Amino acid sequence: MDRALQSARELGASLPPLLLEAERVAQAVHMGVHGRRRAGVGETFWQFRRYAAGDPAQRIDWRQSARTDKYFVREREWEAAQSACLWADASGSMRYASDGNLPAKAARAQVLMLALASLLLRGGERAVWLDERRAIAVHGKSGLERIAARIGGGDPAIPRDNLPPVAPIARHAHMILCSDFLVDKEILRARMQDYAARNLHGMLAHILDPAEVAFGFEGRLEMQGCEGEAPLILPNATALAGAYRARMAEHEAYLRHLAQSAGWFYLRHVTREAPQMALLNIYQALTAERN
C-alpha cells in the first residue's frame, strides 16, 4: 500500500503526507490537461487580505497596512471572480471508512481539493480554500502547505459544520463543494439558492464509502452515530437493505436536482475508486464552465 496514501487517511496525523498524496494525484492529471493563465486586474474593489509569499510587492495597500503591523493586499472583484473556491467537508459523518484499507471520506475530499488547488495553480489559476473559519487565497506551494497544516491543526473531537460555508465570495466565482451532503434537505436547498442568486457556479462532489452504496450488512447490527447520535440497533439489517438503497438513490437524485437547478455540475465518487479520474472530471467541468 502506498505509504503516502496510508498517512493521508489519518486525519489527525502529520499532514505533509496528505499534501504529498494530493500532489501525486495532481501530477497524474496534469500530464493530460493544460490550464489557462489570465492576466489583468479589475476595477471594482472586493476585499483586503493578508499579504502572502509570492504576492508582488506593488500590490500591497500601504494605507491599510499602516493601520496594523501586518501587510495587506487589495483584491479586486474581477480577479476574485476568476478564483475557484474549494470546500472539503470534515464533519463527523465524513470521518467514516468501512474498511481499514479505504480512506475516510474526509481524507479523500481533502486530497481531491488540495490536488485541485495544485492543478489550478500549475495552470496559472487562483484557488481559495474555504473552511468554517475563513476564506484563504492559496499562492504557490507555500499556500498548499498552509492549507495542509490548517487541515491537520483542528481537533477531531470538535464538531465541524457539515454545511457548505457562507463566506464573502465574489459574484460569478466558482465553487467546488466536496461532501456526503448528509444534511437537512431544506437548509441545503436554501444555501444553494443563495449561491445561485449570487451567480456562483460550480460542482457538488458527492463522496461515498462503498458500504454506503451497497449496504451489504447482514443479521443483527449496531450502528454507531458519527455526529453524537445515539447507537441504533437493527434486528435484521438484511431486511432493510432494499429500503436503505432506495433512500440513498433518492438522496443522490435530490443532489443532482439541486445542482441542475443552480446550473452546477454533479459528481459521484466512491472512495474505493482512484482519485485521479474524479479530479480529472472536476477539473474538466471547471475549465469547460469558464471557457
What tens digit of pLDDT does each residue of 165-210 get?
Answer: 776 676 777 899 999 999 999 999 999 998 888 888 899 999 999 9
Q: All 3 cell numbers of residue 102? A: 479505504
- Domains of the chain: which residue ranges? 3-38+82-290, 45-80
CATH value of 3-38+82-290 in 1.10.12, 1.20.1070, 3.30.1490, 3.40.50 = 3.40.50
Q: What is the pLDDT of residue 127?
A: 85
For β-strands 221-223 and 201-208, DSSP reports them as unpaired
Q: What are the residue ranges in the chain where pLDDT is below 70?
A: 1-18, 31-47, 53-54, 75-82, 132-133, 152-161, 167-168, 170, 225-228, 289-291
Question: What is this structure's pTM?
Answer: 0.73
Are 162 and 227 spatial neighbours (Cβ–Cβ below 8 Å)? yes
For 201, the 3-state DSSP assignment is: strand
Other Cβ atoms less than 10 A from the Cβ of 52: the count is 16
Give the amino acid at 139.
Answer: H
Element holding 174 (H helix, E strand): strand 174-179
Closest CA to 144 of 164, 120, 124: 120
Beta bridge partners of 32: none
Straight-line distance from the first to the last Cα atom of the chain, in angstroms, rounded to the nearest whole number: 39
